[in-house]
Amino acid sequence: MNVQAHTSAALPTRPMGTAMKRGLACRCPACGEGRLYRAFLKVNDRCPACGEELWHHRADDAPPYMVITIVGHIVVPLLLAVEMALHPALWIHMALWLPLTVILAVVLLPPVKGALVAYQWALRMHGFDPTSEEHDPLPPTERAEAARA
């Protein structure tokens, strides 16, 4: 049996549903109190409320792909329904669907990324497990400061 799997099994489980709801609300997956982001899509290194380490996340390109899929499933059927029912001019389509697409993408990106960070936290992925080889005790910002000193 893998030592890492054995050690990780000894750690308490993290509730996936609760964590994902907190992530969707852009809150810390551990406590639900602290803000997940310090700026638009910039995850805090630590939760401001409970101190949970959050820098281990590896959201990368997954949230934009998910948002593209969600927005596409909303906008395309609406566009087709409007086209079939009303046959508006092309400029009306552009005036409706371009802003709607951009607004939906911007609004959905933070909660989707928050849910993905919470998912990784709940499953102890990418260093969220302190017994993992991927675990880094310092966030990148503190590592850079320590290297300069």
Is residue 40 assigned to a domain? yes
Is residue 73 assigned to a domain? yes
Cα–Cα distances (Å) from 23 to 55, 87, 123, 145, in that order, read 14, 40, 14, 29
| Residue span of the structural domain in which 103 resides | 3-140
Is residue 92 assigned to a domain? yes
Tally of structural domains, the chain: 1
Q: Model pTM?
A: 0.87
Is residue 105 assigned to a domain? yes
For residues 64 and 33, give the distance between their C-alpha atoms in angstroms, rounded to a whole number.
Answer: 25
Is residue 112 assigned to a domain? yes
Is residue 54 assigned to a domain? yes
| Per-residue model confidence as pLDDT tens for the chain (149 residues) | 344 444 455 788 999 999 999 999 999 999 999 999 999 999 999 999 999 999 999 999 999 999 999 999 999 999 999 999 999 999 999 999 999 999 999 999 999 999 999 999 999 998 898 888 888 887 877 777 777 76
CA 36 to chain centre: 9
